[in-house]
Structure 1
Amino acid sequence: MHATAERPIDRFFASYSADHQHPTNQLIHVFAVPAILWSVVALLWCIPVFGTLFKTGVWAALAMFGAWMFYYRLSRPIGFGMLAAFFFMGCLCRLLQAEYGLGGLFKLAVGVFVVAWIAQFIGHSKLFEGKKPSFFTDLTYLLIGPIWVLAKFYRKMGWKY
């Protein structure tokens, strides 16, 4: 299918792209958006689990599953790509927790979150884009950013989404 505004994913990407025209802002997003996504996963990973039924990371797993369902409904290829990304992020959280403890993972996630958001706002400042971030209009765009970056990768690889 040719990328038109017919599918919801194409409408989301067209709107998101309109707010991300400057090449420097786009480059910032390619690094900052995945960093923010990982940091949110890691922060959810750190939420305590009470009882013995579940282990650390269950809140992150539930959030990743919910987001994955949203992505898979928009596009199966994007859904599978995000499944791989979420699997990687979960494994990274588990490895970092094993190495540095839950407190260390939490501190790292907070640091990455803050630095990546500062980069995002610099990209949207008058220095570069000069437009407010898309999620100021609709919070759904907090979920669109990661797949917009993934779709850029798909296009570079010649893959359809």
Structure 2
Amino acid sequence: MGAGALFDLEEQFGFYGAYHTHPMNLVIHVIFVWPLLFSILVFCAYSPPFVSTPPLPFCPFSGTEQYVIFNLAFVLALLYATCYLLLDKKGGWVALLLLIGCWLGANGFVSALGRNLAWKVALAIQIIGWASQFFGHFAFEGRRPALFDNLVQALLTAPYFVLLEVMQKFFGYEPNPGFHQRMQLKIKQNIDEHEMKKEM
């Protein structure tokens, strides 16, 4: 998949969906993908702030002001949020709110557990999370994870696609009319192409 298709939601989701069709594999991804992203933000929260935090005239969550630290975790959360807003102008706002929570939560996590313990817990989340991903793909999907074929998607866009699956299933959300139906056809097409390549 070319770089030009990075922000093509239907192209990207059609590719992602072909690797995630088994219900148990989907459940595993829903449980572990966002904690994996959160734990990466925890590692980034160890970086020093780039700028001093200005006085906040208003903070919607009382007590969180101390965690508004403009460090590497903020930069990474901003990168992810920008990517998701470019992918989906409506659903991307939900992801933006979640990422703000993850950024503040990562700073709070390091503060609450202490610098000597927080990274160890984050590392454990990474090990358990990635092991679960591989288990889900090989035990249930019968197909290696998408990261072997599209590393950018596995690391950058996969969290949004997990969120999109949840929003669609529980709230009937579609980025645009007919999205879900078109994606089912595209996913089937991608799976059929994969099976044909295996037989060659």
What amino acid is the match of 2:48?
Answer: V
What amino acid is the match of 1:158?
Answer: G
What amino acid is the match of 1:106?
Answer: W
Contact 1:35–1:112 (CA under 8 A) maintained in structure 2: yes
Counterpart position of 2:34 = 34
1:100-139 equivalences in 2 (<5 Å)? 100-125=113-138, 127-139=139-151
Structure 1 range deviating more: 141-150 or 95-104: 95-104
What amino acid is the match of 1:36?
Answer: L
Contact 2:42–2:109 (CA under 8 A) maintained in structure 1: no
Give the paired residue count.
152
Query: What is the CA-CA distance between 1:65 and the residue it aligns to?
Result: 0.8
1:7-156 equivalences in 2 (<5 Å)? 8-46=8-46, 48-49=47-48, 53=51, 58-125=71-138, 127-141=139-153, 142-155=155-168, 156=170
Counterpart position of 2:56 = none
Q: Which runs of 5+ in 1 are unaligned?
A: 1-6
**TM-score, normalised via structure 1 length:** 0.85
The answer to whether structure 1 residue 158 and structure 2 residue 157 are counterparts is no
Q: What secondary structure does 1:159 align onto? A: coil
Contact 1:45–1:57 (CA under 8 A) maintained in structure 2: no
Q: Max radius of gyration: which structure? A: 2
Contact 1:21–1:129 (CA under 8 A) maintained in structure 2: yes
Q: What secondary structure does 2:129 align onto? A: helix
Query: What is the CA-CA distance between 1:79 and the residue it aligns to?
Result: 1.8
Looking at structure 1, the residues matched to 52 and 10 of structure 2 have their Cα atoms a distance apart, in angstroms, of: 38
Counterpart position of 1:4 = none
**TM-score, normalised via structure 2 length:** 0.70
